Structure 1
Amino acid sequence: MNNNHDATQVWVSWGKALASQLIVWHHLLIYGPLAPAADVAWPDLADFLQQDARLAVQVFLVIGGYLAARSLWPTPGSARLTLHDWPARTLARYRRLLPMLLLALLAAVLAAAFARSGMSDPDTPAAPTWPQLLAHLLMLQDIVDQPALSAGIWYVAIDLQLFGLLAALAALAHGSTRRAQTGTTPAAIAVLLLVGTKLASVAWFNLEDDGDMWAPYFFGAYGLGVLAAWGARSGQRAGTTALLASLVLLALLLEWRSRLALAGLVAVLLLWQPWGAELARSRLDALMQWLARISYAVFLLHYPVSLAVSTVVMWAAPSTPAAHVAGLVLTWLLSLAAGWLATRWLEARPAGMRGAAPA
């Protein structure tokens, strides 16, 4: 979807733009031999990026649910997907995610080989095995306990699971509506099904330490995006806000989780789109639209770029903190360039072969 200058959807693009940059810098400052230099050069900023910037993933989760609902299940009563349709819809999502993932995996394997030959760093991935590569191609690497070949790839697997879970819920809602013999409306059945799944997520799965390889762990945030999309489509923003607030408050009463508090805030922003007209007219909007468009590619390619730049810097200036800081900035700029080139290349391919941002 093209959100350019669309004041009613401006927070989709601005959210993706801002969150992607925070995640990139979070990874740059926790992986690799250049990261310690930032602790000295920017101590407060580095501490924030290392500790708190990872919460930006919640922005992608909520936006992912918001956009998936708009294309898959626009309103509670509009579920037309059947369980028979589910495999094809989920496979279509896999095919949309795969091209950029393949490019990122190739870049990661080549960059890691270059890094292993030029520097010694424990964060550098080992040479991949065939089972490891197969697990990544099937987006099952965490489930089958295969080491990650690159930062950020885990999210692609989770996005596919979340989309498949939402598609299954839509199919169940459609089937339940057809079988219902009471006066319960299709919308009420859909809301109950979605809210029930979301409550199971925040009350159980999201509290499991090893649950973050499965979609239900993240559905608390993803489901908030779905509810925001429904509320915006129906125009029932006040009632949806009350429901969102109640669900988030209940989750936080069970156990405080800053990630869910942030997810609730993002859902409200998507629902209301405050200052949308002003942001769409601002001088920053073109930049934010561009950053949002390349966010998926940057998200997947910045780690291979980091490996390559770190190797060169550690060879040329292994003990020069200023060079290490410059290397971090250069990595960021080259990651943006790589994301832009990769996005342009994939967009130029036939429609059936293009990749798609996970959110």
Structure 2
Amino acid sequence: MINLLKAISAQLIVLHHLAFYGPMADHTRQILPALIDWLAQDARIAVQVFLVIGGFLAAKSLSPRGLSGPANPLTTILRRYTKLAPPFFIAMLVAVAASWLASIWMTHDAISAPPSGGQLIAHAFLLQDVLAYEALSAGAWYVAIDFQLYALFSILLWACSRASGKHVSPYLIPAMTATAVGASLLYFNLDADWDIWAPYFLGSYGLGALAWWASDPARRLHSVAILLTMMTVPALFALTLDFRSRIALALLVACELVAYGRMRTASHPSGLWRVASFAGKISFSVFLVHFPVCLVINAAFTRFAPQDVLVQTAGAVFAWIASIIAGALFHYCVELPIGRSLARPARLRTALA
């Protein structure tokens, strides 16, 4: 289910950027105005799915039972950085090359200027928005926010563990997470000036973490009911005060993950689930490289193809398919090899220990 949600959301983000930045989609709007306008404006809330799943998987990794946090948060934060930053930075270099190539064929606002040294360094440390540098690719902000959220959540779990000492309450960490969710939804998420910082998105991320703890099939029903209350009450209260479709979607996804986690599912997935699993696994790579791919194809069709509605629409479809193929190649040729090379020293230390 997680892979299916990631697969669908990643494709919506690709289509959102195709529709929002154009220019091929500007021609498609002539025959499909409602679809293109929806993709350009509303499809971006699919990022909430990634935020919820991010919190869900972070809780699974850092505090599976919700009883303790990491012994050394700096180690977990560094591990997260080494997982995200190398493929992200390579994707940014691809985006720089794509902008250079696209600038030869067309003039468009989506094309980035050649980056400065400071701009590249800021991207390498996932600080481009914090330091007020222009992003080299659409969606770069999300990777930085994901890292911030993981770091903040790691510190929160560690602090709760230190505060509880030997007397571990089974609800301390979930309760503190629910409190953080409420603070995010009722204050930070209402102020767009916070949208380059983790607290703005912590509501959705925290809902995912609470969903993990509530989805544990080993939990008794009264414990699940308490966790569901912690998860839903802050979100529903925030939606009552100021309804936001993105938060409603985040709550819906969190509830779905709880329900699916407590279901007994088939042990042999069908072909459809295998496709969803593959698409979900490559979703991060698709997210990283789709924009430069779409940018170059947009430029090529602007420069060399007839400015005909059907031709340009075919170009948009081709860019969508090419983004998926490029994402798969990036996953297998960049993301996975980097992950294996970084994991090898850790396995060696474990073996020697």
**TM-score computed with the length of structure 2 as normaliser:** 0.90
CA drift at 1:350: 6.2
On the 8 A contact 1:173/1:186 being kept in 2, the answer is no
Which residue in the other structure is 1:37 paired with?
Answer: 27
Distance 1:283 1:47 in 2: 33
Task: Write out aligned runs for 1:334-349 (5 A).
Answer: 334-346=322-334, 347-349=336-338
User: Which consecutive unaligned segments of at least 5 residues does structure 1 have?
Assistant: 1-10, 355-359
Which residue in the other structure is 1:49 paired with?
Answer: 39
Which residue in the other structure is 2:299 paired with?
Answer: 311
Distance 1:186 1:352 in 2: 39
Are 2:253 and 1:266 equivalent residues in the alignment?
yes
Q: Secondary structure at the match of 1:277?
A: coil
Residue type matched to 1:190 in 2?
A: I
Are 2:58 and 1:75 equivalent residues in the alignment?
no
Distance 1:266 1:276 in 2: 19
CA drift at 1:190: 1.4
Which residue in the other structure is 1:295 paired with?
Answer: 283
Which residue in the other structure is 1:168 paired with?
Answer: 155
CA drift at 1:245: 2.3
Residue type matched to 1:250 in 2?
A: F
The alignment-based identity, stated in percent, is: 39
For residue 330 of structure 1, the aligned residue among 294, 318, 328 is 318
Residue type matched to 2:39 in 1?
A: L
For residue 200 of structure 2, the aligned residue among 205, 212, 217 is 217
Residue type matched to 2:170 in 1?
A: A
Which residue in the other structure is 1:113 paired with?
Answer: 100
CA RMSD of aligned residues (A): 1.9
CA drift at 1:179: 7.7
User: Which consecutive unaligned segments of at least 5 residues does structure 2 have?
Assistant: 344-353
Which residue in the other structure is 1:60 paired with?
Answer: 50
Distance 1:168 1:89 in 2: 10
Q: Secondary structure at the match of 1:40?
A: coil
Instruction: Please list the CA deviations of residues 74-97 of structure 1 after superposition, one character each: whole Å capped at 9, or x if unmatched.
Output: 122132x24xx1222111100001
Distance 1:144 1:179 in 2: 41
Task: Write out aligned runs for 1:78-157 (5 A).
Answer: 78-79=68-69, 81-82=70-71, 85-157=72-144
Residue type matched to 2:272 in 1?
A: L
Are 2:177 and 1:190 equivalent residues in the alignment?
no
On the 8 A contact 2:178/2:231 being kept in 1, the answer is no
Distance 1:64 1:228 in 2: 11
On the 8 A contact 1:115/1:308 being kept in 2, the answer is yes
**TM-score computed with the length of structure 1 as normaliser:** 0.89
CA drift at 1:194: 1.2
CA drift at 1:244: 2.2
On the 8 A contact 2:67/2:173 being kept in 1, the answer is yes
On the 8 A contact 1:279/1:285 being kept in 2, the answer is no
Of 160-169 and 27-36, deviating more is 27-36
Residue type matched to 1:16 in 2?
A: K
Which residue in the other structure is 1:3 paired with?
Answer: none
- Report the number of matched residues: 337
Of 299-308 and 232-241, deviating more is 232-241
Structure with the bigger RCO (C-alpha within 8 Å, sep 6+) is: 1
